[in-house]
C-alpha cells in the first residue's frame, strides 16, 4: 500500500496525466482511481504513467493504468504468454515466465500432448484470462519462475532477453539463488527494481498542470473524510471555473474597448 506521501504524489501525477490527456478531473472519479491503484508500488506506477503519457490515447481508467502496470510487474498479454509457454516444450530452452503462465500451461499441455493444438491454445487462453483476472482482483503479483534448459550457453541469453522484454522487472537481482548459481552470477546485493523513468516536469504544459494540482494534492490526503474531501475538491474546481470565466469576460471587454473610435 502507498503511504501518505506516495498518495500525495499519486494524486498530483495522476491528475496531471489526465489533464494532459484532455480529460476532465472529476473529484469522485480521481479519488476512486487512486484507491484502485494504491496497492501498486510507486516505481510500478511511475513506469505505467510514463508509458500512458507517451503511448495512450483516450480516457484514462483504472483498467488503463492496470494494463500498463501489468507490463512493469512482468505480466504478459495472453498471446505473448502462450508463445512463451510453447517454448517450454523445447527441453534445451531456458524459459523465464511466471506462476500464472505455468498454471495455465499445466491445463493446456495435456491437450497439446494429445495432438489437439487448437484446443490447447483455447484452453490456455481461457485459463490464463481467469488466472490473471483473479490475481488482479485479489491484488496478487505474478511470481517469477525460471525453467532452465539443457543448453547451458543459452541460459544467460534467455535471461537477458527476458530483462529486455520486461519479463524480469527487477533484473538479475531478483533471480532465485539456485538459478543464480547455475548461471554463475554473483550473489544479489538487494532486490532492487529497475529505475523508473524521469517524471520531472519537462514541458510548460505539464509544469502548468502540476502547478494547478498542488491544491488538489493537499485536499486528497488520506486522513480527510471522503465526503468532506469531495466537497473541498468541488469548491476548488468551482473557483477555477470562476477565474476562467472572469478571464474570458475581461478579454471580451478589452476587445470591445479596442474597437471604439
Highest mean predicted confidence (pLDDT) among 102-111, 156-165, 206-215, 227-236:
102-111
- pLDDT bucket at 130, cuts 50 / 70 / 90: very high
Query: pLDDT of 38-91, one tens digit each?
Result: 888 888 899 899 989 998 888 898 888 988 888 878 888 899 899 999 988 888
Identify whether residues 164 and 213 lie together within a single domain. no
Looking at the fold, whether 92 and 124 belong to one and the same domain comes out as yes
- Domain span holding position 230: 4-73+206-259
- pLDDT exceeds cutoff 50 at 195: no
Choice between 252 and 5, residue whose per-residue pLDDT is larger: 5
More confident residue, 33 or 160: 33
Asked, for residue 53, whether it belongs to a domain, the answer is yes
HSE-up of 51 (CA within 13 Å, CB side)? 16
Query: What pLDDT score does 207 carry?
Result: 63
- On whether both 135 and 153 belong to a single domain, the answer is yes
Return the pLDDT at 29.
85
- For residue 178, being part of any structural domain is answered with no
pLDDT digits (tens, 9 = 90+) for 148-193: 788 877 777 888 787 777 677 666 666 666 666 666 554 444 333 3
Instruction: Specify if 137 maps to a domain.
Output: yes
56 shares its domain with 104: no
Residue 116: phi and psi, rounded to 5, are -100, 85
Long-range CB contacts (within 8 A, 24+) of 20-26: 20/53, 20/205, 20/206, 20/209, 21/52, 21/53, 21/56, 21/58, 21/59, 21/60, 23/59, 23/60, 25/216, 25/237
Residue 260 in this model has a pLDDT that exceeds 70: no
pLDDT at 127: 95
Instruction: Please say which residue of 108, 138, 168 terminates a domain.
Output: 168
Secondary structure (3-state) at 95: strand
Whether residue 87 is found in the same domain as residue 39 = no
Average pLDDT over residues 14-25: 88
Predicted confidence (pLDDT) at residue 251 exceeds the cutoff of 90 = no
Q: Which of 119, 139, 168 is the last residue of a domain?
A: 168
Please check whether residue 177 lies inside any domain of the structure. Answer: no
Domain stops at, among 113, 145, 168: 168
Residues 109 and 32 in one domain: no
32 domain-assigned: yes
* pLDDT category of residue 204 using cuts at 50, 70 and 90: low
What secondary structure does DSSP assign to 13-49, as a single string?
HHHHHHHHTT----HHHHHHHHHHHTTS-HHHHHHHH
Question: What confidence score (pLDDT) does residue 53 get?
Answer: 92
**Which tops the pLDDT comparison, 117 or 206?**
117
Domain count, the chain: 2
Amino acid at each position: 500500500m502507498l503511504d501518505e506521501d506516495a498518495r500525495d504524489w499519486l494524486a498530483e501525477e495522476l491528475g496531471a496525466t489526465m489533464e494532459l490527456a484532455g480529460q476532465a478531473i472529476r473529484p469522485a472519479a480521481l479519488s476512486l482511481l487512486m484507491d484502485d491503484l494504491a496497492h501498486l508500488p510507486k516505481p510500478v506506477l511511475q513506469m505505467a504513467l510514463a508509458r500512458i503519457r507517451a503511448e495512450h490515447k483516450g480516457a484514462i481508467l483504472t483498467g488503463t493504468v492496470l494494463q500498463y502496470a501489468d507490463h512493469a510487474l512482468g505480466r504478459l498479454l495472453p498471446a505473448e504468454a502462450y508463445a512463451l509457454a510453447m517454448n517450454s516444450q523445447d527441453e534445451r530452452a531456458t524459459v523465464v515466465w511466471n506462476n500464472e503462465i505455468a498454471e495455465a500451461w499445466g491445463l493446456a499441455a495435456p491437450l497439446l500432448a494429445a495432438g489437439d493444438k487448437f484446443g490447447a491454445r483455447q484452453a490456455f487462453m481461457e485459463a490464463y484470462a481467469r488466472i490473471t483476472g483473479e490475481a488482479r482482483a485479489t491484488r496478487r503479483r505474478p511470481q517469477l519462475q525460471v525453467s532452465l534448459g539443457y543448453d547451458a550457453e543459452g541460459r544467460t541469453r534467455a535471461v537477458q532477453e527476458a530483462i529486455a522484454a520486461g519479463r524480469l522487472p527487477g533484473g538479475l537481482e531478483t533471480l532465485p539463488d539456485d538459478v543464480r548459481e547455475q548461471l554463475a552470477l554473483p550473489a544479489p546485493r538487494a532486490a532492487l527494481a529497475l529505475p523508473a523513468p524521469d517524471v520531472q516536469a519537462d514541458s510548460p504544459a505539464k509544469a502548468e498542470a502540476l502547478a494547478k494540482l498542488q491544491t488538489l494534492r493537499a485536499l486528497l490526503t488520506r486522513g480527510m473524510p471522503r465526503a468532506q474531501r469531495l466537497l473541498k475538491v468541488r469548491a476548488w474546481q468551482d473557483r477555477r471555473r470562476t477565474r476562467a470565466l472572469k478571464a474570458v469576460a475581461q478579454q471580451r471587454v478589452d476587445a470591445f474597448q479596442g474597437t471604439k473610435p
